[in-house]
Amino acid sequence: MASYRDIDMLDPLFEALRKHRQEVPAGTTYVFPGKTGRPLEVNNLRNRVWYPAIGAAGLRRRTMYQTRHTFASLMLGHGEDPLWVARMLGHTGLDMIFKHYGKFIRNRSRKDGGRFLEGLKEAEASANGKV
């Protein structure tokens, strides 16, 4: 299902796009133009760039669309908020995140309340003027 949404652009992507824009000829309308200045043709990109790059990297063949799964698993594996990840993927709730990516959610099996206790200690220290 296609949808329009706002997504957060992480700083490294912003910097990469800024540098890329400096290399594109002035007056170019498209972010990634082809040699003629028109938009890249997706089949050409897929067959002449994407699949050869995947093969050269020694990875199994996968579609460009599957990079969203890589994004989700990397973000969750590094402890990002599952609700934020769901929003970036265009999901309306957490069901899909937990169903498909639950194994990547950091500390999902930890049942010790450690994060809460850390927050409680910080709140107590703040209340006692120790922070």
Average pLDDT over the chain, rounded to whole?
Answer: 87
Gap between the Cα atoms of 88 and 39, Å rounded: 25
Question: For the packed helices 82-89 and 67-77, what is the interaxial angle rounded to 10 degrees?
Answer: 170
- What global pTM score does this model have? 0.70
Domain ranges in the chain are: 65-127
Q: What is the pLDDT of residue 120?
A: 87
Q: What b/e sequence results for 43-58 when a residue is b if at least 16 CB atoms lie within 10 Å of its CB, and e otherwise?
A: eeeeeeebeeeeeeee
Give the whole-number percent of the chain exceeding pLDDT 70: 92
**C-beta of residue 96 within 8 angstroms of C-beta of residue 90:** no
